[in-house]
């Protein structure tokens, strides 16, 4: 196609269906520049939605023209080139339309960005103003808080109330017509009245001091008179000693005890005072005569008073001469330094040092047996310990199995549940032990005594575990609240141990002592007999195969006493492992059984053995007997003998074996349709039945 024809067609404007008319393209640069700037103004007048519709329409037309050109080229021919050229021109016009729309879109975008930037700048300016205002508000709030929290010195003064002020203050100070409506003037007036009152009190204080000096002079005169009276009183007391002995009122001896008690440490002093008061109260309850010391409880103080006094004397400052100091230096250089082990031993001895004075309590029981208690105070550990000893009116023959019953180491063990006296009750002592290499206090209890918890309470000491206190002060009320209960428990413990002591002597000879008060609990004829009663070590009890239930239940503690009983009848042998709690007889013994007859039978393979254990362990209240139930253990052993008779006599006989029955039935048993044997004894009918 020639260039001339193209130049002729250039100024033509081709309009499409629905498309806007475009101007000629051969304008000058100034006209184009003016048109560009007019497009920025045109953007505000044109509708973006209509431009978007024009854009879609133009794109569709371009697609259509391109498809027609493609179709014409594929046909070929002479006249096709003209049609293709026409459609090319129309396509160029549409391209120009797209370029214009593109320019308009860029202009809109630029204007949107400019507007957004301006709005952002305004927001930032407002935000900065807001922050400045908030900072000013915070500063003002702090200043207000400071003003509100300001405290003047006059606020620390406890002024009189307003009613009292206007009632007592004179009018020239109160000025009610001015101060009633002005709080500031009211406060000033109240301060003036406070100053006036304090001046009066100061004058009164000086008068009281002068009166005090006069009274002190009178006291000095009376002291001189009383000091001259003391020798006369001493002579009167010496003359009244025979009368005191005759009336069993040892006032002089009690006076000496109280003089010695002044040097006791606070816990021992509290124990001495409360024990003495308890003894006097018991004696007064037994007799209508004036209070005197109870014969069943005697309190005394032992130890060196001079050593106790020396503890509170301050060390005297000595100024040695130069020659003496030189001689001491020469002696110290010649001596060897003590080794680390010796130093630790010295520190341990100092740590475990006892107070020179101790308190002795002698508790007398009904059978004339006496429990001797000696209470000590460990000064550096701030705890109390006790040593016990039991004496009887007649000399006891100690059975082999009763060796630990009256032992000083175990006679008071677990007087209260869990109180075995092997550990220190003061939590602070563990840190002291770590410094001197003491692992536990149990290694020294034989020498020092047992630090039972009830001993601390009798001395008024309480060591809380949750909130340990730096200093523990002896409390009289704590001692008084535990004194009566503890004394009763001590008497009960001694009586029960002495009763067991006598019973063990019979049990070792194969005799089960049953008192006349408990004869009705058993049938008249009991064939099974006790043949062996021995003590068992704790480790040996733990290894027994038929005591596993007791061990697993946690009832086999190291503070309990363990025994083994053997009951026989013919070829049958019944072993009974007994756990005796230190709190017997308030806590019953626990039995575990093993029957050797036609094999080994325990509670795991024979329900009747379990039922026999239940008869002595669960139904023990039937066997307690009269209070204080000291016959419980022997009654349980006698019940075991009866239960063994019932077990053997009710056992079915094998008809295939010729000869008489090994255990003929001698007891009347009411056996219902049950596999269990009738172990319950019914008195006075005298037959056995199921429970």
Express each pLDDT in 242-259 by its tens digit: 766 666 555 556 667 888
How many residues make up the chain in this entry?
691
Q: 536 is written with which tokens?
A: 């068992």
Between 465 and 137, the more confident residue is: 137
Q: Note the pLDDT tens digit of each residue in 550-593.
A: 999 988 888 899 999 999 998 999 999 999 999 888 899 999 99
Residue among 397, 379, 639, 672 nearest 512 (CA): 639
Other Cβ atoms within 10 Å of 375 Cβ, number: 21
Q: What tokens appear for 16 in the block?
A: 């499409």
Q: Is the pLDDT of residue 14 over 50?
A: no
Provide the pLDDT for residue 335.
Answer: 54
Instruction: Point out which residues pair with 594 in neighbouring strands.
Output: 575
Distances (CA, A) of 95 to 36, 51, 90, 362, 624: 17, 14, 9, 127, 121
- Give the mean pLDDT of 322-332: 53
Q: 189: which residues sit within 8 A by CB, 6+ positions away?
A: 165, 169, 173, 174, 175, 179
Long-range contacts of 658-664 (CB under 8 A, 24+ apart): 662/570, 662/571, 663/569, 663/570, 663/572
Position 655 confidence tier, pLDDT thresholds 50, 70, 90? low
Question: Token pair for residue 511?
Answer: 């005799």
Q: Which two tokens stand for residue 660?
A: 């008489």
Output the CA torsion 25→29→34→40 (10° steps). Answer: 70
pTM more than 0.85: no
Shortest CA distance to 521 belongs to which of 628, 630, 632?
632
d(CA 370, CA 297): 9
pLDDT over threshold 70, residue 305: yes
As a whole number of angstroms, the distance between CA 355 and CA 350 comes to 11
Greater confidence (662 vs 432) lies with: 432
C-beta atoms surrounding 452 within 10 Å = 24
- 347-396: pLDDT as tens digits: 888 999 999 999 999 998 887 889 999 999 999 999 999 999 998 877 77
Note the Cα 104 to chain centre separation in Å: 83
Q: Is the pLDDT of residue 134 over 60?
A: yes
pLDDT of 678 reads 87
Main-chain dihedrals φ then ψ at residue 244, nearest 5 degrees = -65, -40
**Can you read off the two tokens belonging to residue 621?**
């209240």
CA angle 467, 470, 474 (to 5 degrees): 95
Closest CA to 297 of 371, 403, 242: 371
Residues 154-204 pLDDT 10s: 777 888 888 888 888 888 888 888 888 888 888 888 888 888 999 999 999
Q: Which residue, chain included where needed, has tokens 């879109």?
A: 105
Confidence of residue 319 (pLDDT cuts 50, 70, 90): very low
The C-alpha atoms of residue 23 and residue 34 are separated, in whole angstroms, by 13
Q: Is the pLDDT of residue 11 over 50?
A: no
| Percent of the chain residues topping a pLDDT of 90 | 38
Q: State CA 7 to chain mean position distance.
A: 109
Q: Which two tokens stand for residue 72?
A: 């014409």
- Highest mean pLDDT, choosing among 57-71, 279-293, 303-317: 57-71
d(CA 613, CA 590): 9
Cα–Cα nearest to 86, from 179, 184, 9, 201? 9
Instruction: Report the side by side order of strands in the sheet with 297-303.
Output: 297-303, 357-364, 370-378, 383-391
Q: Where are the alpha helices (DSSP H) in 397-449?
A: 429-436, 445-448
pLDDT-derived band at 144, boundaries 50, 70, 90 = very high
Q: How much is the pLDDT for 658?
A: 55
Q: How far apart are CA 15 and CA 180, in angstroms?
A: 99
C-beta separation of 366 from 393 below 8 A: no
3-state SS class at 628: coil
Q: pLDDT tens-digit profile of 428-455?
A: 888 888 888 888 888 888 899 999 999 9
Q: Is the dihedral of CA 523, 525, 529, 533 positive or negative?
A: positive
């Amino acid at each position: 196609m020639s260039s001339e024809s193209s130049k002729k067609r250039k100024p033509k404007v081709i309009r499409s269906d629905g498309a806007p008319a475009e101007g000629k393209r051969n304008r000058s640069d100034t006209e184009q520049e003016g048109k560009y700037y007019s497009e920025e103004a045109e953007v505000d007048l044109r509708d973006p939605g209509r431009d978007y519709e024009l854009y879609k329409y133009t794109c569709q037309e371009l697609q259509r023209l391109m498809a027609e050109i493609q179709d014409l080229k594929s046909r070929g021919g002479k006249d096709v080139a003209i049609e293709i050229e026409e459609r090319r021109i129309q396509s160029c016009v549409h391209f120009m339309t797209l370029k214009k729309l593109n320019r308009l879109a860029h202009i809109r975008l630029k204007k949107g960005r400019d507007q957004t930037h301006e709005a952002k700048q305004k927001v930032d300016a407002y935000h900065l103003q807001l922050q400045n205002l908030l900072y000013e508000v915070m500063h003002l709030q702090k200043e207000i808080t400071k003003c509100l929290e300001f405290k003047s010195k006059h606020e620390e003064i406890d002024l009189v109330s307003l009613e009292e002020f206007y009632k007592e203050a004179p009018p020239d100070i109160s000025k009610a017509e001015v101060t009633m409506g002005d709080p500031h003037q009211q406060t000033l007036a109240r301060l003036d009245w406070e100053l006036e009152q304090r001046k009066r009190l100061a004058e009164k204080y000086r008068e009281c001091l002068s009166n005090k000096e006069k009274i002190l002079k009178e006291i000095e005169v009376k002291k001189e008179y009383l000091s001259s009276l003391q020798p006369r009183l001493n002579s009167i007391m010496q003359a009244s000693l025979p009368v005191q002995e005759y009336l069993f009122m040892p006032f002089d001896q009690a006076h000496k005890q109280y003089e010695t008690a002044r040097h006791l440490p606070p816990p021992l002093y509290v124990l001495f005072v409360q024990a003495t008061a308890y003894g006097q109260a018991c004696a007064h309850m037994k007799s209508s005569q004036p209070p005197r010391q109870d014969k069943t409880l005697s309190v005394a103080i032992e130890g060196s008073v001079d050593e106790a006094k020396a503890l509170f004397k301050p060390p005297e400052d000595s100024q040695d001469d130069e020659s003496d100091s030189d001689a001491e230096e020469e002696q110290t250089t010649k001596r060897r330094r003590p080794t680390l082990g010796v130093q630790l031993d010295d520190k341990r001895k100092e740590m475990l040092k006892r107070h020179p004075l101790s308190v002795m309590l002698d508790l007398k029981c009904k059978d004339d047996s006496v429990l001797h208690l000696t209470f000590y105070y460990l000064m550096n550990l701030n705890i109390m310990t006790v040593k016990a000893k039991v004496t009887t009116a007649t000399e006891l023959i100690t059975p082999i199995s009763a060796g630990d019953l009256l032992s000083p180491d175990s006679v008071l063990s677990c007087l209260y549940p869990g109180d075995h006296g092997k550990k220190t009750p003061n939590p602070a002592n563990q840190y002291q032990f770590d410094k001197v290499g003491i692992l536990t206090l149990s290694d020294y209890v034989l020498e020092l005594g047992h630090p039972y918890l009830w001993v601390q309470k009798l001395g008024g000491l309480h060591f809380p575990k949750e909130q340990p206190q730096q200093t523990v002060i002896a409390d009289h009320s704590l001692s008084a609240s535990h004194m009566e209960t503890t004394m009763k428990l001590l008497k009960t413990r001694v009586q029960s141990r002495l009763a067991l002591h006598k019973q063990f002597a019979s049990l070792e000879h194969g005799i089960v002592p049953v008192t006349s008060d408990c004869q009705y609990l058993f049938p008249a004829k009991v064939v099974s007999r006790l043949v062996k009663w021995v003590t068992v070590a704790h480790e040996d009890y733990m290894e027994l195969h038929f005591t596993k239930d007791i061990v697993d239940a946690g009832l086999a503690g190291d503070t309990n006493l363990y025994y083994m009983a053997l009951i026989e009848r013919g070829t049958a042998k019944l072993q009974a492992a007994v756990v005796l709690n230190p709190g017997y007889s308030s806590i019953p013994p626990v039995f575990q059984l093993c029957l050797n007859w036609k094999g080994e039978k325990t509670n795991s393979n024979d329900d009747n053995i379990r039922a026999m254990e239940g008869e002595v362990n669960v139904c023990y209240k039937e066997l307690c007997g009269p209070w204080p139930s000291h016959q419980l253990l022997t009654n349980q052993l006698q019940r075991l003998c009866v239960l063994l008779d019932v077990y053997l006599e009710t056992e079915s006989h094998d008809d295939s074996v010729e000869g008489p029955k090994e255990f003929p039935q001698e007891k009347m048993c009411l056996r219902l349709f049950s596999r269990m044997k009738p172990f319950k004894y019914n008195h006075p009918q005298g037959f056995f039945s199921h429970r």
